[in-house]
Amino acid sequence: MARDDKPGPDTGIQMDSISMAFGDNRVLRGVSLDLASSEVTALIGANGAGKSTLIKILAGVHTDYTGSITVDGVEHHIDSPQTARRLGIETVHQRIAEGIVPGLSVAENLLFEQITSGEVARFASLGRLLPRAREVASCLDLPWARSFLRTDVFEIAIADQQLLVLARALSRRPRLLILDEPTSALSAAEADRLFGVVRRLRDDGVAVLYVSHHLTEIDSLADRLFVLRDGRVHVQQRPPFDWNTAVKGMLGEQVVFEQEALQERRGADVVLRIAGIRLFPRAEPISFDVRSGEVTGFVGLLGAGKSELATGVIGASPFTTGSMTLLGRPYAPRRPADAIRRHVYFVPEDRASQAMLPGWSIASTTSLPFLSRFAPSGFIHRRREARHARSLIDDFDVLATSEQQSVDTLSGGNQQKVVVGRWMRGKPTALLLDEPFRGVDIGARREISHRVRDLAAGGAAVMLFASDIDEILEVADRIIVLTEGTIRSDLYTSETDRDQILADMSEVA
Amino acid sequence: MEVETAPAESSRLNSPPRPTSAGRTTDLARDVMVKYGFIVVTVALIVWFALSEERFRQSSTIFSMLKFTSTVAIAGLGVTVTMVIGGLDLSVGAGAGLSVTLAAMTMVMWARSGGVAVIVVLLAGAAVGLVNALLIVMLKIPDLLATLGVMFVVQGLKLVPVDGQSVSSGMTLRDGTVARGSFSDGFLQIDRGKVGPVPYPVILFVVLTILVWIFLTRTKWGRIMYAIGANPEAARLAGVRVNLYKAAAYIISGVFAAVAGLILASRIRQGDISAGNSLLLDAVAVSLVGTSVLGLAKPNAWGTALGAVLVGIVITGLTIKGYSYYWQDVAKGAVVLVALVFSFTLSRRKARFVPAV
């Protein structure tokens, strides 16, 4: 939808006291954002802060919000995606697949809105579409040849799909362009081209809302920064940005429950040696040792590479670069089974989808990774299995009526005790725990912390991954801060503190 | 884009609806119905047929019913194993049909013994299973679609060497000569033979049911297969070689389809090209019925066996009562739907054994 009126200096889109709830879950609690024309406004926040909901309100997806939205001084209720589009709000979603239509050519995808609106004849020959498609592509200076425009959109690279969606949004000359993690599929050069486009748009008077986990991008691009946490704006800044404050606002000051002084231990023997591994194609290779006898905590924001590191070490998504040794011998797991054979175990981040088997008993869940031990001849020794599960229940104080109780009926904390416990009883050489305290009550969290520290004291290497500094400080002896796939700092807890870690996490390259 | 309503979602998963004190009696009634409802229905049907029809009371009727049920049940056991790993084998009917043609070709066209025919057929069944497995595991084609494709290919391919003709002794071959071989007596005994009053196929059916039951519930391999069906990602992260077990499930299914085909071949005594065509739907149907029989809401060997018997009883009963053949499909469909109501609607265990495409 082309608009000829150039917005003036005081125009743009103002969101005032926007609130939104899904049932009892209040996702936004009075958010006010000023998305001024000729400005790039950046929005950051941890998972669950409310970013997606906010974007979806602007895009007309969530319509039952309260508060007001003013566009160029006139109040509007955005009650549908069509209304959003009419107001000149264009959204480029993070998931590119939502923006393209498979089976159609690049040209048809570029002109998709015009085709569905009837502006361009539905069955126009591809040849007739090409000139107009090139017009759309030119909004982004895309040097796409005719043969490329004829290609099926599924055959082109993801980066090109991303640029296509962006070009289409730009061709409608938006008043507000929302970019949600736009660089996740782009190479460095393509990302740079995108940044150039964003700057040019800003200079042309467009308001840009830029949502990203990449602080570096925001640092170089944004004119304004809003930090969202628990549905509220906690920090707003103008450049130069104070990233320390921003990240603090993002993560929040945790209510620290009375904590026994952690007796820092330093390990001696190298268990796992990691050399020259790239966590992302663009990231610098990293190398470090994990030693037995100490708990090594890995902390970083979303997208820092924690999950990539953990899943690589246990072989769930094997590294393609660098090498590892375990207890001095080469270690290159191609699948989790290989890691488990070497006694390298993993407690995944998302319990429900990665560790729990719906309807399974505590006993079966406990024995699954070590079934051969309970079934040396192939037949499961059920009494031995039950005895093993009962002793785990006693040992970890799992709240359950019997070892045959379904794991579905356990609380999150008790489920996690079962998952952590089953690995601990398998004599780990190394135990990796990814966000082990997520959805876990304080009691279970303490129990698990104690066990993890005891395990390390007993000579195992423990790697704990979390985005919450306080969780890490609670258990780790040594803290490695990851940012954008590289090691920002690697210090023992006595050598650093919460503020220092925050500073490291928020340091921008 | 992160799903920001995730906490609500996970808390729903973590705490299944707890019965309120007011609803406890009805919940108990529901649990009893889910657990024993199907068996009660089966017994009631048997009693009704037995009281109203004299012929239904004869043991020969019962055994002939069980004999005809055995092919469906055996193919169904194979389907059950694939359902356990979260898949579904649609090629069992075609696999059984291939077995019939291959058995006839081995004995009639190549004049080999019944023993050779059995070996050829079992190997071919395993090969069909292996092809399914490779398509699903290596080429990542969804289970339903891969086995659907293989079904068509196998159905067509088996007709090539026989020029689309049924194979029977005395037929004229491509080179103008007359086929020298014939179905061996030993091979014909597969379907005809009896121990006392019990036909061999019924014995085979019971033995295979027990074996599959033991395999699935008592061995680590069966346990692992259930784990894959319950949550493949969790199984993989717990060290399960998911692809290996998926492949094994399809090979087992292929071999079971071949066994069903051997019984069919022995029964019809020629390489009937249409044999096995109706077996697929029946085998899938009894496996689905089987999920509800014992209230487990998951695929299981005894359920499939009892499901096959129940369908057999209904069909036999209707036939004796003089209903036309077309009522058979209506009855089968009704049985399947009632069973699915038990598994999906009434059971509080979350039934999850239908693969997504």
Q: Select from B223, B217, B219, B218 the least CA-distant residue to B240.
A: B223
**SS3 of A179, please?**
strand
Mutate one of B14, B217, B240, B291 to test the A interface: name it (highest A CB count within 10 A): B14
How close is the nearest chain A Cα to the Cα of B267, in Å? 36
Distance between CA atoms of residues A268 and A292, nearest Å: 6
Q: How much is the average pLDDT of B132-153?
A: 95
pLDDT-derived band at A122, boundaries 50, 70, 90: low
Q: How many CB atoms lie within 10 A of CB A373?
A: 14
For chain A, the domains span 12-88+175-252, 100-173, 270-506
Pick from A342, A348, A388: nearest CA to A365: A388
**Are B89 and B250 contacting, i.e. CB atoms less than 8 angstroms apart?**
yes
Q: Which pLDDT score, from 0 to 100, does residue A346 have? A: 97
Same topology, domains A12-88+175-252 and A270-506? Answer is yes
C-alpha span between A165 and A142 (Å, rounded):
12
**The pLDDT value given to residue A193:** 81
Task: State the pLDDT confidence band at A375, using cuts at 50, 70 and 90.
Answer: very high
Smallest CA–CA distance from A439 into chain B, residue: B7
| Tokens representing residue B314 in the block | 């209904």
Q: Which long-range contacts (CB under 8 A, 24 or more apart) does B105-109 make?
A: B105/B161, B105/B162, B105/B167, B105/B271, B107/B181, B107/B182, B107/B183, B107/B184, B107/B187, B108/B167, B108/B168, B108/B169, B108/B171, B108/B179, B108/B181, B108/B182, B108/B183, B108/B271, B109/B162, B109/B167, B109/B173, B109/B179, B109/B181
Give the one of A316, A369, A439 whose C-beta lies nearest to B10's C-beta: A439
- Residue A509, burial from CB neighbour count under 10 angstroms (0-12, 13-18, 19+): exposed
Give the per-residue pLDDT at B12. 34
Contact A359 B350 (CB under 8 A): yes
CB B168 within 8 A of CB B180: no
Q: By the CB < 8 Å criterion, does B16 face chain A?
A: yes
A-facing residues of B in 336-355 (CB < 8 A) are 349-350, 352
Chain B interface test: which of A371, A385, A399 (most B C-beta within 10 Å): A371
| Residue in B4, B223, B240 nearest the CB of A48 | B4
* Residue A429: how many other CB atoms lie within 10 Å: 18
Each residue's pLDDT tens digit, A145-185: 888 888 888 888 777 888 888 888 888 889 999 998 887 76
Q: Tell the burial category of A285 from Cβ atoms under 10 Å away from its Cβ (0-12, 13-18, 19+).
A: middle
Mutate to test the interface with B, among A357, A399, A425 (most CBs of B within 10 A): A357
Mean pLDDT computed over A434-450: 83
Q: Which strands form A25-36's sheet, in the order they lie side by side?
A: A25-36, A12-22, A66-71, A74-76
Residues whose CB is less than 8 angstroms from the CB of residue A328 and which lie 6 or more positions away in sequence, other chains included: A270
Residues in chain B with CB shorter than 8 Å from the CB of A47 are 2, 4, 6
The count of residues in chain A is 509
Q: What's the CATH architecture for A12-88+175-252?
A: 3-Layer(aba) Sandwich (3.40)
Which DSSP category does B58 fall into? S
**Mean pLDDT of all residues in A361-379:** 94
Q: Mind listing the pLDDT tens digit for each residue in A333-368?
A: 999 999 999 999 999 988 888 999 998 999 999 999
Contact B4 A47 (CB under 8 A): yes
DSSP A40-58: EEEEE--TTSSHHHHHHHH
Residues of A in contact with B213 (CB under 8 A): none
Under 8 Å CB-to-CB from B166, ≥6 apart: which residues? Answer: B104, B270, B271, B272, B273
| H/E element, A85 | helix A81-86
Q: What is the pLDDT of residue B14?
A: 36
Residue B120: what residue type?
V
To the nearest whole Å, the CA of A356 is away from the closest chain B CA by 6
The C-alpha atoms of residue B268 and residue A41 are separated, in whole angstroms, by 78
Give yes or no for residue A6 having a pLDDT over 70: no
- Give A125's DSSP letter: -
Query: Distances in Å between the alpha carbon of A392 and those of A225, A384, A430?
Result: 49, 12, 20
Q: How many helices (H) and strands (E) does chain B have?
A: 14, 2
Q: Assess B228–A contact: CB distance below 8 Å, yes or no.
A: no
* Partners of residue B121 on adjacent β-strands: none
Average pLDDT, chain B: 86
B164 and A CB contact within 8 Å: no
Q: Residue B4: list chain A partners with CB under 8 A.
A: 27, 47-53
Question: C-alpha angle B201/B207/B210, rounded to 5°?
Answer: 140
**What is the reported pTM?**
0.75
CB-CB under 8 Å, A25 with B8? yes
The beta-carbon neighbor of B14 closest among A375, A378, A412 is: A412
The residue ranking higher by pLDDT, B289 or A139, is: B289
Provide the number of CB pairs (under 8 Å) joining chain A to chain B: 117
Output the CA torsion sign for B220, B224, B226, B231: positive
C-alpha to C-alpha distance for B221 and A379, rounded to whole angstroms:
9
Which sequence spans correspond to the domains of chain B? 59-167+179-343
pLDDT at A65 over 50: yes
CA distance B120 to chain A (A): 29
DSSP lists the bridge partners of residue A270 as A291
Spatial separation of the C-alpha atoms in residues A386 and A362, rounded to whole Å: 9
**For residues A431 and A452, what is the distance between their CA atoms, to the nearest angstrom?**
9
Helical H runs in A204-304? 215-221, 243-251
Q: Does residue B219 belong to the interface with chain A, where contact is any CB pair within 8 Å?
A: yes
Q: Which CATH number fits domain A270-506: 3.40.50.300, 1.10.630.10, 3.40.50.720, 3.30.390.50?
A: 3.40.50.300
Q: What is the pLDDT of residue A254?
A: 54
